[in-house]
Chain A
Amino acid sequence: MKLALQNILHDRGRFSVTVLGVSFAVFLMVFQGSLLAGFLQAASRLIDASDTDIWITARGVQAFEFGTALESRVREMAAGVPGVMQTSRVCMAFAVYRTPIGKQQVVALVGADPNVGKRFPVPDAPESAEKMSPDAVLYDVSDRKQIEVAALPAEVEINRHRASIEREIQGYGAFLGVPFLFTSYRNAIRYLDFRSDQAVYILLRTDRRYPLSQIQQSLKQKLPEVDVLTRDEFAHKSRMYWTIKTGAGGAILTAAVLGFLIGLVVVSQTIYANTMENLEEYATLKALGAPQAFVARIVLAQALICGAVGSVLGLLAVVPSINYAKSLIPWIHAPWWLPAAMVVPSLAMCSLASIVSVRSALTVEPGRVFRA
């Protein structure tokens, strides 16, 4: 195996190109993977932040961001279904926001009952440690530029209603390009001119003694004109909408696949060139009695060494890049296992790239050793 290593080290220029090809591929795969992971996470973030079991939406709602109002009676009817313990209301609609200095822009306003979930950003949650007024408005740190408040609390207008921005929160940045504002349910319906008790989503907490699917079934029968989804179903639906129906996921994946292919081509070219250059030595090895497996291992080892070194360099480059990208793309997210997992396709890529080279090394005739 030393031969494999030395062959690589002996051709530094080519080795650098190979390693660069691999690191480029790994970089792109991890970066795009983080975009996809972050995108998926962001696409269902508010749904996942609730700790309710069932979400009722208007028929055909594809994603949290595009809900339409439900009829008021839906909540009462749902509450009457056996196994439903608690209902809560969420409303979400686009609104016009006026900054303290009078600039106008569109925002997405989310209002929720305090019992929606511990992680769901509402000002009047019972656990809320730092006291703020129950009708406070919150915004995410990533939207600070667009919100344009100099100090908190700040007096602003939402749909021509006076509102008080009181808190900056973290982790609820959106990828819509439109800032999200969070407030209590009753405050939100005021800004949005909803009728009292009107909501976009009705969230249900259920009794564990009833099977969830059974409750869901009864709700569907009783409320045929709306969609009754478990929380995970709605989260999934929302993620699928954003990644597949908008084509965003496809675009992200295409770039990752492209990175893989470019790496594949670069590595196979350089490994092949190296193999061709050393073909006489492979013939010598065979003449001296080295079995085919021995020869194949050497070629493969060369590819894998390049793969391993390239992967490490790619990862070293991508981690700070993702951290830097967070300031521009707040929702980018690299799960801890993603960089590690990308080593697998990278090594697979190198093995794949060495197939042709292994074949040429295996088919070289040992008999040629006596020919000049």
Chain B
Amino acid sequence: MPNLFLGVEGASVTFGQQDARVCALRDVSLSFEKGTLSLVTGPSGSGKTTLLSMLGCLLSPDEGSVFVDGVAVNGLSEAERTVIRQKKISFVFQAFRLFHSLSALDNVALGFEIRDPAAPGRKELALDLLLQFGLGDKLQQEPNELSPGEKQRVAIARALAGNPPILLADEPTASLDAEAGRNICQILRREVDEQGRTVVVVSHDPRWEKFADRTITLCDGRVEEEVAVL
């Protein structure tokens, strides 16, 4: 059987010792096709974030395998996993996690710098991305001067810097109002359709359902339901 493009096979994750032991994922197998937007949903504590951490090379499963861009990544060293993150994966967070002291433009430019410190023209590339996201008038603003929706767009621009094939988002719209949330949904959908990016969104937000190619529901660390949208 060929390796998955992105996914987990028989993955189990536990946290803590003895009495405090929590089984976050139990024998989960999931595959995410290239160029699709998958929604992972489920009640709080069901293991969604844990799944995303594994796909993002931030966490190794106790058992099972993780594949990123067709490569089995569990068993790699921390430095090797960092390189995979650097080249292939980017993240969008509920809390944005922008660098507080940098302007919008510098946040995105730093995204480019991390992916390829030697590449020239970071500022120009960052400017292009922000213009695409309608942030042309907020370039020099610092994060605390931006609205939540603008922050998340800057964060997505930073994530897309350097053109990584995979984008993982944990509750990207949970801190946003309806309007800004829909905007983010549209942006990520467009990345899938136009750039062929592979996007995994973890969210409670039902709005995502009509933007996703597939919805996976987790419960108690197991896959409860998988629904493909046609």
Q: Which residues of A contact B (CB under 8 A)?
A: 2-3, 6-7, 9-10, 280-281, 284-292, 294, 366-367, 369-372
Contact = CB atoms under 8 A, between A and B. Distances in A.
Choose among B58, B95, B117 the residue with the greatest number of A CB atoms under 10 Å from its CB.
Answer: B58
Nearest to B58: A367
A3 B86 contact: no
Given A2-B102, A10-B100, A292 B85 contact: no
Contacts of A284: 97, 99
Given A289-B86, A290-B114, A369 B58 contact: yes
B111 A3 contact: no
Nearest to A1: B113
Interface string B73-105: 000000100111111011101010101111000
B59 interface: yes
Interface stretch (B2-10, B33-41, B48-56, B178-186): B48-56
Contact of A287 (B79, B83, B91): B91
A274 to B, nearest CB: 11
Nearest to A370: B49
A276 to B, nearest CB: 14
Nearest to A368: B58
B79 A6 contact: no
B150 interface: no
A288 B106 contact: no
Contacts of B110: 2-3
Contact of A6 (B89, B97, B101): B101
13 contacts: A9-B101, A280-B97, A285-B114, A288-B86, A288-B114, A289-B83, A289-B84, A289-B86, A289-B115, A292-B79, A367-B53, A367-B58, A370-B58
Contacts of B158: 288
Interface string B43-68: 00000010011001011000000000
Contacts of A287: 56, 58, 85, 91
Nearest to A280: B97
B76 to A, nearest CB: 14
Given A286-B82, A287-B56, A287-B85, A369 B91 contact: yes
Contacts of B95: 372
A3 B83 CA distance: 21
A366 B60 CA distance: 13
Choose among A2, A7, A285, A370 the residue with the greatest number of B CB atoms under 10 Å from its CB.
Answer: A370
Interface residues of B, number: 33
Given A287-B85, A289-B83, A281 B100 contact: yes
Contacts of A366: 58, 82, 85
Contacts of A369: 58, 91, 93, 97
Given A289-B82, A289-B85, A367-B53, 4 more contacts: A280-B97, A288-B159, A291-B82, A366-B82
Contacts of B159: 288
A358 B91 CA distance: 24
Contact of B59 (A7, A281, A367): A367
A346 B79 CA distance: 33
Choose among B87, B95, B109, B159 the residue with the greatest number of A CB atoms under 10 Å from its CB.
Answer: B95
B102 A6 contact: yes
Interface string B169-184: 0100000000000000
A291 B84 CA distance: 11
A288 B102 contact: no
Contact of B117 (A7, A294, A367, A372): A294
A123 B89 CA distance: 86
Nearest to A289: B86
A93 to B, nearest CB: 69
Contacts of B93: 369-370
Contacts of A291: 79, 82-83, 86
B79 A10 contact: no
A3 B52 contact: no
Contacts of B109: 2
A3 B84 CA distance: 23
A290 B161 CA distance: 13
A288 B85 contact: yes
Contacts of B106: 2-3, 6
A305 to B, nearest CB: 13
A282 B31 CA distance: 31
A359 to B, nearest CB: 16
Contacts of A10: 100-101
Contacts of B53: 367, 370
Choose among A280, A288, A294 the residue with the greatest number of B CB atoms under 10 Å from its CB.
Answer: A288
B159 to A, nearest CB: 8
Contacts of B85: 287-289, 366
Nearest to B59: A367
A291 B87 CA distance: 12
Nearest to A5: B101
A9 B100 CA distance: 12
A214 to B, nearest CB: 64
A366 B111 CA distance: 16
Contacts of B90: 288
Interface string B205-221: 00000000000000000
Contacts of A9: 101
A144 B51 CA distance: 85
B91 A290 contact: no
